[in-house]
């Protein structure tokens, strides 16, 4: 990813749930909500050069329309938990002296990320930034 002043690592399902309400039951509806969220991220990144974003979703790859952005990375945790992948990314970026903000409402994840020197941002406040 190109150099940016801050990387937002988004707890994907957690953030989509916070923004769009209850997580839908069907995979198709879940993918639609995730796609809407990712499209908004993509559009926001077109307007700013300051940030990069990594959105981490639980589970295996799903047919969410891809975006062709150097500063937007979509990650699926596969068999691991998204929280573990997020914390690995935080540690890696902080090690390389990057500024990191984790977007989540998950208190346990937030506490762990803070211990790794990441900032925490509520998904709704992040969504307001996009608007």
Q: By mean pLDDT, which of 11-20, 54-63, 65-74 is the weakest?
A: 65-74
**Residue 31: inside a domain:** yes
The pLDDT, as a whole number, for residue 95 is: 95
**HSE value, Cβ hemisphere, 13 Å, CA-based, for 36:** 12
Q: Is residue 50 part of a domain?
A: yes
Convert the pLDDT of each residue in 76-87 to its tens digit.
898 899 999 999
56 is a domain residue: yes
More confident residue, 95 or 2: 95
pLDDT, average across residues 47-69 = 80
H/E stretch holding 30:
helix 27-47
Q: Is 3 within a domain? A: no
Is the pLDDT at 3 greater than 60? The verdict is: no
Q: Which domain holds residue 69?
A: 11-130
- In a domain, residue 29? The reply is yes
CATH at residue 59: 3.40.50
Decide if 6 is inside a domain: no
Q: Are 9 and 122 in contact (CB under 8 A)?
A: no
Q: What is the pLDDT of residues 18-51, one digit of tens each?
A: 998 887 888 788 888 888 899 899 889 888 888 9
Domain assignment present for 100: yes
Query: pTM here?
Result: 0.90
| DSSP state letters, 64-116 | PPP---TTEEEEE-BTS-HHHHHHHHHHHHHHTT--EEEE---HHHHHHHHHT
Q: In DSSP terms, which residues pair with 120 in a beta bridge? A: 102
Per the structure, how many domains does the chain have? 1
> What's the pLDDT tens digit per position in 102-113?
999 999 999 999
Q: Would 1 be classed as within a structural domain?
A: no
């Amino acid at each position: 990813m190109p150099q940016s002043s801050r990387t937002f690592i988004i707890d994907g399902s957690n953030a989509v749930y916070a923004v769009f309400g209850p997580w839908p039951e069907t995979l198709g509806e879940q993918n639609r909500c995730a796609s809407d969220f990712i499209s908004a991220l993509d559009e926001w990144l077109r307007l700013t050069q300051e940030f990069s974003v990594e959105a981490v979703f639980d589970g295996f790859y799903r047919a969410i329309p891809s975006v062709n952005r150097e500063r937007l990375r979509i990650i699926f945790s596969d068999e691991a938990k998204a929280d573990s992948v997020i914390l690995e990314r935080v540690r890696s970026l902080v090690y390389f002296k990057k500024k990191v903000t984790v977007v989540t409402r998950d208190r346990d994840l937030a506490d762990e990320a803070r211990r790794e020197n990441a900032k925490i941002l509520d998904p709704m406040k992040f969504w307001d930034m996009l608007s």
